[in-house]
Structure 1
Amino acid sequence: MRDYGQFCPIARSSELLAERWTPIIVRNLLNGCRTFNEIRQGAPGISTALLTQRLDVLERHGVLRRTVKGRGVTYELTEMGQALRAVLDAMGQWGAHWLEIEPHHLDPAYVLWATMKLVDPDRIPAGTTVVRFELRDRPADNHWMLLQRPRSELCTRSSGYDEDLVCRTDSATLVDLHLKRLSYPAALRTGRVELLGPPALTRQFRSWFRTSPFADYVA
């Protein structure tokens, strides 16, 4: 870890939080991730070894606590870690306003993970609704979203459930919808989103997802 040798609170905070992937891990924990795999799913590209190291450092500094139950391990932020929500919110607001989204930012695995995190559990149908996403920018891959209360799940393999809807779109369109740069009616009208399934579900689909909390800060 970097040591700036300065008593300044910004310098001391940076020694812990400005390490690669650390803010992403904290963001995922703030978004409800509790297991190692859930945290890693929201951080495509991080290695198992590096995620383990970062979690150990955060635990050692009191930012999170690890709980072992049998063979299962869960992670949750402490009061110290929860206090970072304001820090991450400020970073998100600043980035949404000042930084452009470039093509290399549109990792399909992350875009769909972020889409899942915007599911409004109060608006989805009771039981389990399975939506298969076909992304035009990653045609060889399929992703299934299992919409259910209290938490939805994203899978990269068939879950065994019958598919209720198929959504054909691309990563850039999903981002534009998240950030309110595009409306669902416009996306459907222009063919940027195609929904296949029962009319009742295709009509409801757009109401199941919230917009990004940073949408209002986009320049």
Structure 2
Amino acid sequence: MRTYGQYCPIARASELLAERWSIIILRNILVGCRTFNEIADGAPGLSRGLLSKRLRELERAGVIEIQAKPDGPGSIYEPTRAGHELAGVMVALHDWGSKWAQLKPERAHPGVVLWAWVNFWLDRELLPRRRVVVRFDYPTLPRPIPRGWLLIERGDAELCLKHPGGEEDLIVVINEPLAFAHWHMGKIEWTDALRSGAIAVTGSRNLARALPTWNRRSWTAEDPRARFEPPVRQAEPTTATSPA
């Protein structure tokens, strides 16, 4: 491992954490991703080979531990005590980035926004009790994956790259991905996005009204480190997922 050759704690921490993708991988683990595929889903563009390498590096750095799955092949990735203490660092990076790092249209992929919504910001208490399928179309993005599906059942939700089966209850067309990201970040309201045509929704009126309420969009915990507590999942996923 290359070093800065300095005693400074910032330099020493950077040697462990500042490799490309390491912070994104840690973010995913701290918000509750535990399997290789879950971590990869939240890091589109990261090759599986590099992900494996970074996970091993983070294990050697002592911020995650890797254990065999008790019920099948594969591994489980958990933050150590040192890893948990990086939650405050993540919060500071989030707040600084929200204030100073400009969000450009090419970085506002709706699939990544949906991944963050479902894995971090989803208000499960407000989800419908029945099975619901919501299709999200991204007409301004190139193929091969210009859409995704949100499947809700048994009090939880997951993202799907392929149609999960059954009737589509809502179709959400994201004409302006940047506006969708700004709504998710709390910078504009859902009604404003609808009025401008940035987002269009067809289907059940009741579900269309309820849809934006499923996204908490804002911090609710007094302790900022609690923002990175993993969500409580009420049901195991049944369909292969990806952020599109």
TM-score above 0.5: yes
Give the alignment partner of residue 136 of structure 1, picking from 136, 139, 161. Answer: 139
CA-atom RMSD in angstroms: 1.7
Instruction: Give the residue type in structure 2 aligned to 1:80.
Output: A
Residues 138-163 of structure 1: per-residue CA shift (max 9 Å, x gap): 26422011234564211111112332
After superposition, where does 1:1-219 map in structure 2 within 5 Å?
A: 1-69=1-69, 70-117=72-119, 118-138=121-141, 140=143, 141-148=146-153, 151-169=156-174, 170-213=176-219
- In 1, are the aligned partners of 2:62 and 2:82 still within 8 Å (CA)? yes
- After superposing the two structures, state which structure 1 stretch, 164-173 or 42-51, moved more: 164-173
How far did 1:127 drift? 3.9
CA distance in 1, matches of 2:14, 2:153: 38
Q: Percent identity?
A: 43
CA distance in 2, matches of 1:179, 1:86: 19
Residues 91-112 of structure 1: per-residue CA shift (max 9 Å, x gap): 1111111111123322343223
CA distance in 1, matches of 2:25, 2:130: 30
Question: Structure 1 residues 51, 174: CA separation in 2 closer, same or farther (over 3 Å shift)?
Answer: same
Instruction: Give the residue type in structure 2 aligned to 1:128.
Output: R
- In 2, are the aligned partners of 1:111 and 1:171 still within 8 Å (CA)? no
Question: Structure 1 residues 88, 194: CA separation in 2 closer, same or farther (over 3 Å shift)?
Answer: same
Q: Which has the higher contact order (CA 8 A, sep 6+)?
A: 2
How far did 1:212 drift? 4.8
- After superposing the two structures, state which structure 1 stretch, 22-31 or 106-115, moved more: 106-115
Would you say how many aligned residue pairs link Structure 1 and Structure 2? 213
- After superposing the two structures, state which structure 1 stretch, 154-163 or 197-206, moved more: 154-163
- In 1, are the aligned partners of 2:149 and 2:163 still within 8 Å (CA)? yes
Q: When the two structures are superposed, what TM-score results if normalisation uses the length of structure 1?
A: 0.90
CA distance in 1, matches of 2:21, 2:185: 23
CA distance in 2, matches of 1:115, 1:36: 19
- After superposing the two structures, state which structure 1 stretch, 169-178 or 145-154, moved more: 145-154
- In 2, are the aligned partners of 1:115 and 1:174 still within 8 Å (CA)? no
Question: Structure 1 residues 151, 12: CA separation in 2 closer, same or farther (over 3 Å shift)?
Answer: farther
- In 1, are the aligned partners of 2:65 and 2:78 still within 8 Å (CA)? yes
